[in-house]
Amino acid sequence: MDYITKPSISRLAKRAGIKTISDDCYLIIHESIGEEINKIISTALAVNKTKTLMVEDIQAAFRLNGYNIAKSNDIGSGKY
């Protein structure tokens, strides 16, 4: 999970309203995010039974894992 960097964790934290994070927290957050991503992708692959995942598959996997997410019709359309 090398693509989850300290700056990306900091941006997520700031978006959540956290001002600062100690250096000790980065490793724990990094590992937790990696575990959750693996769990979501594994669920999506098991439910979909294909190697290609679509946005709807990931949203369904989040719901199955107990996450309540907002659905946007603009996701994946390039309209951001």
pLDDT attached to residue 71: 66
pLDDT in tens, 7-21: 999 999 999 999 999
Domains of the chain: 6-64 (1.10.20.10)
Q: Is the pTM of this model over 0.85?
A: no
pLDDT in tens, 25-55: 999 999 999 999 999 999 999 988 888 999 8
- If you ran DSSP here, which 8-state letter would residue 17 be given? T
